[in-house]
Each structure stands twice: as structure tokens, then as C-alpha cells.
């Protein structure tokens, strides 16, 4: 079973990062992990930086930016629920994806939790957000939070900030799916949540015996359920037919899933030109947070 002992939560003070931070706090509490809160200052967001460079005030300008970011991050953490333990604050100057990935490697992070801005129309096909760049390159799982949970978030620091009651794992029975299953079972165990295992049959030939294909997939899913899962009855299996991302999103809506767990095939699964990958579409169009686990 995977261990989650060190969690990194990049914060940009948007509503999306607020939701991500609350998820990170909840995971910190359940796994008794250490939480790192990171704020990256990008000079490209400050037009006056070019003037400071030409005027020879670059170092002073950067120091002021970092001081302001430190104060802002401290205020952010102060104004949101906590687990009676302050996260370690880290403020850096640089490009956000590079700083996040470097820090994750340096601190041996087990899970990155970050917000992502949802897009619609043509823009949703553009790969470019900080979260997507991190997901393509991170060596650890990434939990991307785009929408708030179905239930109201608890504001009392003595209570859990996020409730994960229903978890959906999408599997194609490959190696990457097996690692994702381990994480899904771990989450379900920690939160005492229900776990749905889903396999989607796609591109079935017209001549194929659909009932036999469904029965075979159902049997494979059933074999994935560990003994303790059978005893609790909290794990169920489902087989759907169609486009994987469409069926995943539809089922997440039907069951009011709180988080989707998915495995992806190495660096290419979310890479530059792969706009149609299942994980990418579920992340952009789905109704709940998504954990992406790369083998």
C-alpha cells in the first residue's frame, strides 16, 4: 500500500488553490503527513520588473516581491482551517512548474495537491496551465482540484475539511492501473469511503459477443478486489461501453463521485500534442478532483 508522508500544495491564492489547500489539509490529517505550502513568484507577472532591471534595482525588487509573497502566504494559511500544525512555508522566485517539480524532488514529495483552472470551448484543448505541466513531468501522483466537493467544506479546524465518501477508479487492467488501484484502495481505507472500479469497453466489433465481453471484464474487475474489500462490501465493480472519458464523467456525475483516480502511461500520456487523452479530458471536463498516477 502506498505511503503518503509528504504532501506539497502550491498556492496562487485563487479559489482553485483554496479548494486544493483544503484537500491537502484533509489528506495531511488522514495520513498524518507533513504538508508543504509553496508560493512561486513569477517575474513575468510584474511588468515593472523590466524597469527594475534597467535601473539596477533588480535584487532589491526581487527581495521585496519575496517578502510580500511571504506575508501573503502567511496570511492565507492563517485565514484558512488548519490541523493545529502549521505547514512549512516555502516562497521562491522562478517559473512555477519548474519550482514545483524541483521542490517535489528535493523534498521527496509523495503527493502534489494543486488547483487547476477549468476551461471551456476551444481553450480547453490548450495544454499550458501550470497544473498540466506538473502532471506531465512529476514523478509522484498529482491531485488536481478544479471544482469544490459536493458537500459544503467544513470551516471548523477541529473537523475534517473535505469528506471523500465515494471514489472512482478507472482501470484498463494495465500496470499503471494496478498502481492507481493501490492508491484508490488506500484513500478508501483512510476515509472509509465507497470505491467503484470501472472498466470501459471501447471499439467493440459489431460481430463480437457483447455479453461475453462484459462478463469477462466484470470477472477481471472482481479479481482486483482485495479480501478485506470483499468483507466490507464497500467496493463495487462496473463495466460500461463507449468512449472512456465520456463514461467516466457520466458515472462520476451519476454516483456523485468525490475524486477520480487514474493511471497514465508514462510521460506521453499527457504530453504536448495528446489533446484527446482520457486523463486530460476527465481533468478538464469532469465534475470532481482527479488523481493522476504515472508509472
Domains of the chain, start order: 1-159 (3.40.50.620), 164-295 (3.40.50.620)
Cβ neighbours of residue 34 closer than 8 Å, sequence gap 6 or more: 5, 6, 7, 28, 88
Give me 16's grid cell: 482553485
For the residues 23-36, what does the mean pLDDT come to?
94
Is pLDDT above 60 for 185? yes
**Residue 81 — φ and ψ, nearest 5°?**
-55, 150
Name the residue with higher pLDDT: 111 or 284.
111
**pLDDT at site 290:** 94
Strands 290-294 and 142-145, bridge-based pairing:
antiparallel
- Determine contact, residues 241/210, Cβ cutoff 8 Å: yes
Give me 239's grid cell: 463495466
**pLDDT at site 146:** 78
**pLDDT at site 229:** 65
pTM given for the model: 0.87
Give me 92's grid cell: 521562491
Mean pLDDT in the chain?
83
SS percent in the chain: helix, strand, coil, step 5: 45, 20, 35
- From 177, 173, 176, 142, select the one nearest 259 (Cα to Cα): 142
Distances (CA, A) of 188 to 176, 253, 258, 280, 290: 19, 19, 11, 23, 15
Amino acid at each position: 500500500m502506498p505511503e503518503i508522508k509528504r504532501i506539497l500544495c502550491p498556492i496562487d491564492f485563487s479559489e482553485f488553490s483554496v479548494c486544493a489547500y483544503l484537500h491537502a489539509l484533509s489528506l495531511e490529517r488522514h495520513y498524518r503527513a507533513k504538508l508543504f505550502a509553496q508560493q512561486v513568484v513569477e517575474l513575468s507577472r510584474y511588468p515593472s520588473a523590466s524597469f527594475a532591471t534597467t535601473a539596477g534595482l533588480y535584487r532589491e525588487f526581487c527581495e521585496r516581491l519575496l517578502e510580500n509573497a511571504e506575508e501573503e502566504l502567511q496570511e492565507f494559511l492563517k485565514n484558512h482551517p488548519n490541523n493545529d500544525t502549521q505547514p512549512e512555508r516555502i516562497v521562491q522566485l522562478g517559473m512555477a512548474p519548474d519550482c514545483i517539480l524541483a521542490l517535489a524532488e528535493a523534498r521527496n514529495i509523495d503527493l502534489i495537491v494543486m488547483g487547476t483552472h477549468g476551461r471551456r470551448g476551444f481553450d480547453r484543448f490548450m495544454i499550458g496551465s501550470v497544473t498540466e505541466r506538473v502532471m506531465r513531468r512529476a514523478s509522484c501522483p498529482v491531485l488536481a482540484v478544479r471544482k469544490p466537493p459536493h458537500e459544503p467544506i467544513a470551516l471548523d479546524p477541529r473537523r475534517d475539511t473535505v469528506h471523500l465518501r465515494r471514489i472512482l477508479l478507472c482501470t484498463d487492467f494495465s500496470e499503471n492501473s494496478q498502481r492507481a488501484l493501490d492508491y484508490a484502495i488506500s484513500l478508501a481505507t483512510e476515509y472509509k469511503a465507497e470505491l467503484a472500479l470501472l472498466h470501459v469497453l471501447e471499439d467493440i466489433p459489431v460481430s463480437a459477443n457483447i455479453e461475453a465481453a462484459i462478463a469477462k471484464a466484470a470477472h477481471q474487475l472482481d479479481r482486483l478486489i482485495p479480501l478485506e474489500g470483499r468483507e466490507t462490501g464497500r467496493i463495487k465493480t462496473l463495466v460500461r461501453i463507449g468512449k472512456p472519458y465520456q463514461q467516466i464523467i457520466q458515472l462520476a456525475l451519476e454516483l456523485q463521485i468525490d475524486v477520480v483516480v487514474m493511471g497514465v502511461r508514462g510521460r506521453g500520456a499527457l504530453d504536448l500534442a495528446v489533446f484527446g487523452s482520457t486523463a486530460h479530458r476527465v481533468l478538464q471536463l469532469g465534475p470532481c478532483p482527479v488523481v493522476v498516477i504515472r508509472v
